[in-house]
Structure 1
């Protein structure tokens, strides 16, 4: 526990330093992608009868406040202020042109009563709930078709109280797929910053079919044994920037997705132009992941300056037969990892299927993956790359990577892959030809 608290304090210190550096130095950020809005009109959740005692259910207050914002349509939008206190609530929808602002000491806490989590339809690119057939529970904070939305504050907390849902998952009593903490659908011009997210029932932050999304200066926390609590999952979305954040969860820290098997292929919306930088975290699963739901295609992803501790897999590109889609132009650079089971994994046999209707001949295409400038300490296995027999992975380029010195207990493993390697230790498999040419990076 003390170690976790220390990690959080270090994270906040690092975020403060980065914010200062942004003000006084040439630090590359995504702040220009979506401008931060100043709202002249401001209201407080307490104006609508909310009580921050941690016991009173405030769902009605949130709905009425957001209804007011939506229907009065103040010029420049409205800021909804959440003062210090613990505000218990069920699911609620945001509206366009609003800021949800959590003061220091403010907590939006999810109720553990499932009747306050409405059921909604499955995403069309998934065809069903991700865990169970049929519908799924709506996220705690939800929105569809929104424009110009900001979720920010003074490091207030959004608490999903996920243990209730994790236990149902473990006991196999779930009837429908668990809710995310935040899900925004078909939305654009979104900023999420300076908020702590903890104990999500399922995935934490899920922008799907979105564009122009900035997620920065956030902290995401869940126990390492919490099931499927991914940190940030941009899904069939484009122009997304994730930066300067600390994530410690029970599943992938950041996972780029684009739909599931035949449903994702039919819906056909790729994820592209995704930037991930200056992320620190730990998880028993993956640090930076692409997949495994990749059926709409994933293109032009840059992840850089990543620090990973106590990981299952550091860098993971994962897909499967039946997925279809193309994974192309993925660049990961400047990564430090420590206490990691496997440093790099690129695999064509990962992930389950929504049903038995998937097409086994829908083979994904994986090409032009560049991984460079990676340093690892205490890495049990440096890596593995296993393509698909009738769709080998091509253009795999490893450069300037040190994941331990020989002898290594478990060496690299490769199959159905074509690529190159330069300055890689321990030396990878023979399928990656030694070359003195540096890999070209599309960014």
Structure 2
């Protein structure tokens, strides 16, 4: 296991970033690239049903886990016949974890609230991700996510800004008291899947990360509001992990950790799995995360990160962090341009790796306004080479 303690921090509103071969590269428009991703309208499924048709009761007290899984299982029969949509009407729908299916839409009415069960036995334990090797909160496995799916294609989770409430306070308390045997669940996790759209929803109080696509491709996440106390532990907003062709746009995130964290596995496990996150575009993100990053590269990024483009970011405070504290990586071709930052305590801190410096870092049209109590040395650069 190779470990390093380096940190690259740019206290700016980042507009453009690419981690590999950015200099002189023309804009690429490729079939299946994140710049072309688009999916059909949400109401185009041939079949539709309500959770009430499967015995669901939206009183906020009745546990609906079996109703949700029954509904998905029944509607999966229409995958080859135009697909199916499960409508969650107005109400408070208490449920444990349930799995999705292919060619499927989960649609939440504007007054629908999915409430995550606080009964631990409603959360099955699954194996750690192979690119991580062990859990993040505890050495063993992890609790399955509230909405989960693997080996799927054509999955949409959307609504009229309906709500998914993870009721995470119990989990945060257990975490702080070191009482968890396994890693906390996420709200939404899709693995080994493609053609994914998650849109027009409000996610509240996740036990841990909110949205985690992993080993997946062709992903759109847009119009999402994510809210959690800024002191809540590890409530990352959106974490694309060993994924390719991803578009994140028009999202608003208040988080106790990074608003967006780009990942690709942990240490020797991530290196062995060897699947980078690539072809990612992040546009029109508003982030409030006083103690963490608006956008972080890592810290779990041992599988690599390639071709990340970021624009129109509003961060409070303006903070963009690129970091990896677990494994040796090579950073090159990082570009910052058309940036305006105000009330900044430190304009930039670029710390490369001794013996393997960062190269090809370019800044252009950057305006930085320092705070009255800014540090004496607003710029710090070590182990940086090239233009």
1:390 paired residue among 355, 359, 377: 355
What is the deviation of 1:89? 0.3
C-alpha distance in 1 between matches for 2:126 and 2:166: 18
Which structure 2 residues correspond to residues 226-245 of structure 1 after superposition, within 5 A? Answer: 226-245=232-251
Return closer, same or farther for 1:290/1:97 CA change in 2, 3 Å cut-off: same
What is the deviation of 1:409? 2.4
1:416 matched to 2:383? The reply is yes
C-alpha distance in 2 between matches for 1:30 and 1:58: 39
What is the deviation of 1:364? 1.1
TM-score when normalising by structure 2: 0.87
Residue 53 of structure 2 aligns to a residue whose secondary structure is helix
Contact conserved, 1:33 with 1:212, CA < 8 A, in 2?
no
As a proportion of its length, which structure holds more helix? 1
Match of 1:71 in 2: 77
In structure 2, stretches of 5+ residues that fail to align are 1-33
C-alpha distance in 2 between matches for 1:82 and 1:300: 37
C-alpha distance in 1 between matches for 2:36 and 2:68: 29
TM-score when normalising by structure 1: 0.77
C-alpha distance in 2 between matches for 1:223 and 1:157: 16
2:53 paired residue among 25, 32, 47: 47
Q: 1:150-199, CA deviations, whole angstroms, 9 ceiling, x for partnerless residues?
A: 00110000010011111111111111110011000000000001111110
C-alpha distance in 1 between matches for 2:306 and 2:94: 40
C-alpha distance in 2 between matches for 1:413 and 1:227: 30
1:371 matched to 2:361? The reply is no
1:295 paired residue among 302, 318, 324: 302
Match of 1:272 in 2: 278
Residue 353 of structure 2 aligns to a residue whose secondary structure is coil
What is the deviation of 1:406? 8.6
C-alpha distance in 1 between matches for 2:334 and 2:94: 45
Contact conserved, 1:203 with 1:232, CA < 8 A, in 2?
yes
1:173 matched to 2:179? The reply is yes
RMSD: 1.5
C-alpha distance in 2 between matches for 1:365 and 1:31: 29
Which stretches of structure 1, 4 residues or more, deviate above 6 A after TM superposition?
none
Which structure 2 residues correspond to residues 310-329 of structure 1 after superposition, within 5 A? Answer: 310=317, 314-320=319-325, 323=327
What is the deviation of 1:419? 4.0
Return closer, same or farther for 1:31/1:90 CA change in 2, 3 Å cut-off: farther
Return closer, same or farther for 1:140/1:405 CA change in 2, 3 Å cut-off: closer
Contact conserved, 1:36 with 1:191, CA < 8 A, in 2?
no
Residue 294 of structure 2 aligns to a residue whose secondary structure is strand
Contact conserved, 1:34 with 1:213, CA < 8 A, in 2?
no
Q: 1:261-287, CA deviations, whole angstroms, 9 ceiling, x for partnerless residues?
A: 100000000110000001112102100
Q: 1:88-140, CA deviations, whole angstroms, 9 ceiling, x for partnerless residues?
A: 00001001011000001000110111110000000000001122111000000
